[in-house]
Chain A
Amino acid sequence: MTSPERLRGAAAPKSHNARTIAALTTNPGCSRRAVMDAAGIDKERLAAYVGFPARFGQSQFAITRGNVFEAQLKADGCAELLRLLREVLGLPIPQVSYDDLESVDQLDARADRSRELLTRAAGGESGTLFDHPLLRLEVGGRWVYLEPDLIALQFGGTFYVVEIKSFAVIDGQADGTKVSAAATQAAVYVLALRRLLAEAGHDPGLVSHEVVLVCPENFSNRPVATLVDVRKKLSVLERQLARMARIDPILESLSPDLTFDLRPDSSGVPQRPVAELVDGLGQIDARYSPECLANCELAFFCRHEARGTTASLGKSVREELGGVPSVDLALSLASGAVAPADDQEEAAAMLRFAAQLRSECLS
């Protein structure tokens, strides 16, 4: 058995954010990813070093647009945001209190100050808008700092996470993938805020399972707010976080001297032989699917490793082939070159028929 610390080696643990935590829910069955994330290994750096760099760049135009839109909503004492929240949450006129938590410099101090203000607010004292509070969530045994765009407290004591995104809602419709990703991210904040309140002895149910998603409307900069139910996202997230806390059984199966330390020299250039790292990665099972390409920094490595599997062609391909795991086996069963195992009889018959049909039609 090894330990997360040993796996990571001398490098500082890679810190999570809401986006990376949200990504954890996309392929929960992958041990490789679970171990890497729990150990805080910098997957992006590792992937680049072994020759399979990830492609997760963000365009500066998108970043700028996001920042400008958020600044616009929060300008003039959150004037626009306040109007929207009055509309969707029915905030009464007197509730305009605004606390800027980003103005505190140090992370710990910000987290403390955020906890103080939010728990005080939960106790029925003042506070309505909390700008960039710093929350904490335990992920794989380590604390991760999280920074929601805004939290609003409604009259009557319900907290709402407000997520500001710059993708457009056009004629009442937005890109479903983007809405879903925003909802998962917001769910991470809901969870962190619930745990913060619970630790302070308050009812975690004070945090609504509905989040306020604010986006630009149509082709303008005019914002529009929508309530999004994140209950399902929350339960997926909680299950995955609990799973990450239980990676011991996976660690037990690993060799005690396994490590992904890149052994950088004094100038930070990794010296570890690539072959050792590749060998190490091979010791932890991955569950590659093409969807990983959009979600995991190691995806190109895993794809290369998964060549020749039917799963690498997509989940539906594997299913249509009756669950036969490899390309070669599927073709051998289809041609009759290999006799099927007992549990492959049905798949093999279907494959033989399919192969016969193709050759009949294409000859």
Chain B
Amino acid sequence: MPTPVDVLERRIDELRVAVRQAVLAGDRAQATALRAELRRAEREWDDALDEFADQTPVPPLLPIRDQVHNALTLLGVPAAPKLLIAVHEAFFAGEIVGARLTSLRRDEERSFRAAPRQRPYYLCSALTADLLAPARGLLAVSTWPLDRRIVGPLSARVDFLTAAIRIAEQAERHPGAERLLRRFAVNIPGATDSSFADVKPEVVVRAARAELAVHEGADRSHREAAAERARTQLDDAAQLFGSRELQRT
């Protein structure tokens, strides 16, 4: 006799074919309805399986906010989740679970607004220099000076070069970081030899510093001016998580 799981699996297969039929016939309403039914069947299937399996998730060594904090502190500049994962993998034990990063900033903001400044640090946003809005996909640390969290037109490059220097400086003691360092080095003029074969941390530092010197001054004045505006125009929470007001004007 077929088990409930077997019956559900057959049902799921049938629904998938039906969805294809609807899509091919250009019938969007029907496809949407069938997809909803398919999701329902899949959930039931998951539940049915859960009855067999005993699931205890393995807790990570550190809470995710500490992992992210460690990676950000090493880099010293605002960074995107993908880079944070790579940095953590190269320098620290344990793994950052990417899926959990997506809700992190929202959780931090909620916590801050509920009870401001109760924690030693918050993981917050980088702010765009023009609108002081949260910069897409960048995380930063609340204890950093405000101007370091501002992103002006030159900051993406400046932060990239700064991160390269920090990674190179740490790379000597962490052989696992070589691949990450190479990824940075190939995109910095003079940081690798012509064959890209050998990446020497001190060469990367020198090359990155040389290019950094070109952009640094202009970038700093942008950032400082924007930070000054943020301090006068934004409340505490908005200084950390960005303003959504200015955008609509």
Chains A, B in direct contact (C-beta < 8 Å)? yes
The B interface, classified by DSSP as helix, strand, loop or mixed, is helix
* Residues of chain B from 152 to 205 with CB closer than 8 A to chain A in the complex: 153-157, 159-160, 163, 184, 186-187, 189
Which of A45, A93, A109 meets B26, CB within 8 Å?
Answer: A45
A53 within 8 A of B: yes
Closest B residue to A297 using CB positions: B26
Complex CA gap A77/B135 in Å reads: 12
Q: Using Cβ atoms and an 8 Å threshold, which residues of chain B touch A103?
A: 128, 133, 135-136
Which of B24, B155, B157, B247 meets A109, CB within 8 Å?
Answer: B247
Complex CA gap A127/B211 in Å reads: 18
Complex CA gap A47/B27 in Å reads: 11
Which of B23, B153, B189 has most A Cβ within 10 Å? Answer: B153
Q: Are A76 and B189 in contact (CB under 8 A)?
A: no
A143 within 8 A of B: no
A96-117: CB near B (< 8 Å → 1, else 0) gives 1111101111100100000000
Q: Are B25 and A53 in contact (CB under 8 A)?
A: yes
Q: Are A97 and B247 in contact (CB under 8 A)?
A: no
Q: List 25 A-B contacts (CB under 8 A).
A: A47-B26, A48-B25, A48-B27, A53-B26, A53-B27, A54-B26, A57-B23, A76-B156, A76-B163, A77-B157, A77-B159, A77-B160, A78-B157, A82-B157, A83-B187, A86-B189, A96-B156, A97-B154, A100-B135, A103-B128, A105-B247, A106-B248, A126-B153, A127-B153, A269-B29
Q: Are A102 and B215 in contact (CB under 8 A)?
A: no
A268 within 8 A of B: yes
A176 within 8 A of B: no
Q: Are A94 and B187 in contact (CB under 8 A)?
A: no
Complex CA gap A99/B29 in Å reads: 39
Residues of B within 8 A of A (CB): 23-27, 29, 80, 82-83, 128, 131, 133, 135-136, 153-157, 159-160, 163, 184, 186-187, 189, 211, 214-215, 247-248
Complex CA gap A78/B155 in Å reads: 11
Q: Are A76 and B83 in contact (CB under 8 A)?
A: yes
Known: A53-B25, A77-B160, A103-B135. A93 touches B211 (CB 8 A): yes
Q: Are B247 and A104 in contact (CB under 8 A)?
A: yes
Q: Are A93 and B153 in contact (CB under 8 A)?
A: no
Complex CA gap A126/B187 in Å reads: 23
Q: Are A109 and B136 in contact (CB under 8 A)?
A: no
Known: A53-B24, A57-B23, A109-B248. A99 touches B153 (CB 8 A): yes
Complex CA gap A146/B84 in Å reads: 32
Closest B residue to A83 using CB positions: B187
Shortest CB-to-CB span from B35 to chain A, Å, is 13
A75 within 8 A of B: yes
Closest A residue to B134 using CB positions: A103
